Every structure is written in C-alpha cells, then in structure tokens.
Amino acid sequence: MRILFILGSLRSGSSSRRLVDAFQRSLPEDSRAQIIDGRDLPLFDADLEGAEKPPAVEELIHQVNQADALIFVTPEFNYGIPGPLKNLLDWASRPPFNSPLKSKPALVVTQSISPGGGSRAHAQLTAVLSATLTPTYLVPSFTIPAVHEKFDEDGQLTDGLTQMRINATLPGFLEWAGQEAARLST
C-alpha cells in the first residue's frame, strides 16, 4: 500500500513530523510512504490553473494520484487548519468534485500542545475533505493533546497511549483503504 502523509506544519522539529515518523515505523513492511507539506506550492491562484500548471502543483497531483491512502497529521492554528495545508488542499481539489482527492481514503490526525488536541482543526479538516469527496476513516477523533510531552529529546515517541492508539487505528484504516481501492477498481 502506498501511503501519502500530508503534514500541516512546515517547521523543523515539528511534532506533526515526529508523529508521522511514529506512524511510519508502525506501517507494515510492504508499505511505501511519502511525506509532503506543500512548502513549494504557490498560493492558490485560478490564473495559474491552465494546461501547464506550476511544477510543484503537477508534483502534488502526481503524488496524490499515486497514493492508495492519505494520512493527514496537522496542528491546529487559530482554531483551524494551517494556511499551507488549506492551500495544498485547494490546489489538489481541482477540478471540483472530480479531483485527485476524490474517493481517496484518508485518516485525519491532529495535535496540539493544548488539552483540545486540535479538535477544531480536526473537525475543520474533515469538513474540507467532505467538499473534496475524500472519505475519512470513521474512528473517534484522532486528536493528540499535550503533544510536547509525548516525545523524548531525540524526537522518539515515548507516550504509550499515543503508540497504542496508532497501533489500534492503523491496521483497520489500511484494511478499509484497501477495500475502498478494490471497490473503486471494479
């Protein structure tokens, strides 16, 4: 299975990135993973949407098309999803209702240093993905509070509960994503 991790944070040392590492370590051996964060994309501009799109947009579309499943890992910024992530989604959402995001199985994971674990960003991202016809895996919201307490100095996940949630969610998500892919190909 080809997994595309879509990161909502650009900063080095990002907790989102550390979580992606933890998810990646928990993937089955035959999985292939890519990580993108949309940093090279221009700001969405319909004037740039012609037959020849900016190279970073073409690359984004290629990566989404290649993926069997998407895993979003993002912080909450000002009660919502970070701007670069929304920009990435706007680019990937074209043409509307028939974009590379259509029918692509997705898991939404949010985190924050606050007790809410980015629950507002979680709800907002799930709503955005419904606009792009991207089905999201139905589990109790995967939100991670107090994320700064979950890692050691080397960025390794040390929190047993978070690892347990990853272990409890990932196999079911991958199975569902596989079923979705098989259903769409028939």
Please state, in angstroms and rounded to a whole number, the distance separating the CA atoms of residues 17 and 54.
26
- What are the residues whose beta carbons fall under 8 Å from the beta carbon of 52, sequence distance 6 or more? none
Q: Closest separation between CB of residue 49 and ligand FMN, Å?
A: 28
- Of residues 104-133, which lie at the interface with ligand FMN (CB under 6 A)? 111-114, 116, 118
- Of residues 127-186, which lie at the interface with ligand FMN (CB under 6 A)? 147
- Where do the H-state alpha helices sit in 2-105? 15-25, 55-66, 83-92
Q: Closest separation between CB of residue 26 and ligand FMN, Å?
A: 18
Is 23 a binding residue for ligand FMN by CB under 6 A? The answer is no
Q: How many Å from the N-terminal Cα to the C-terminal Cα in the chain?
A: 18
* ∠ CA 123-116-14, rounded to 5°: 90
Is 16 a binding residue for ligand FMN by CB under 6 A? The answer is yes
Q: Closest separation between CB of residue 151 and ligand FMN, Å?
A: 10
Please state, in angstroms and rounded to a whole number, the distance separating the CA atoms of residues 173 and 152.
27
Q: Closest separation between CB of residue 60 and ligand FMN, Å?
A: 20
Q: Which is nearer to ligand FMN, 21 or 68 (CB)?
A: 21
Interface positions with ligand FMN (CB under 6 A): 9, 11, 14-16, 75-79, 111-114, 116, 118, 147
